[in-house]
Amino acid sequence: MKNNSHAFVNQLFVCLLVTLCVGGTIGIGTVWMRHQISVTANANRALAARLAEFERHLAETKTLLERAQRPDELRRLNTDFRLGLVLASEAQVMHVTEDPVRRLAARANRGLFGDTPAPVTLTIALQP
């Protein structure tokens, strides 16, 4: 009877240890996953901040470019630097109504894809 009670206590002790180990492992895994989530969230926040800074810088640059391209600013620079530039006449302006990218690609590749097929010459050697 004493052996049976020791066997039961040993089994109970082993089950308790296994339960504690499994629970501890699950707890450590949960803490690790929460830490990884926190690290990822911090990295996302840092990327969002960098993106916002980049977009702000891009908006500032765009504003500077738009300000520099205003007609009154261009006229002022023309007189300040004594360039002697005049406004373009309507005859010098060519309005393009088609897609400019496709137009330039077609213009650059005009010689590559001709409308007429190139003649093909075949030489066949017959063996006896």
For 91-110, what is each residue's pLDDT tens digit? Answer: 888 888 888 888 888 888 87
Is the per-residue pLDDT at 2 higher than 60?
Answer: no
pLDDT score of 111: 72
Is the per-residue pLDDT at 87 higher than 80?
Answer: yes
Q: What does the alpha-carbon distance between residue 56 and residue 123 come to, in Å, rounded to a whole number?
A: 66
pLDDT score of 118: 63
Q: Which residues contact 103 (CB under 8 A, 6 or more apart)?
A: 96
Identify the residue with better confidence: 89 or 76. 76
Summarize the confidence of residues 57-80 as an average pLDDT. 94
Interior angle at CA 37, CA 32 and CA 40, nearest 5: 125
Percent of the chain with pLDDT over 90: 54
What is the helix, strand, coil percentage profile of the chain, to 5?
Answer: 70, 0, 30
pLDDT score of 116: 62
Is this prediction's pTM over 0.75? Answer: no
Is the per-residue pLDDT at 59 higher than 90?
Answer: yes
Is the per-residue pLDDT at 117 higher than 80?
Answer: no
Summarize the confidence of residues 23-45 as an average pLDDT. 97
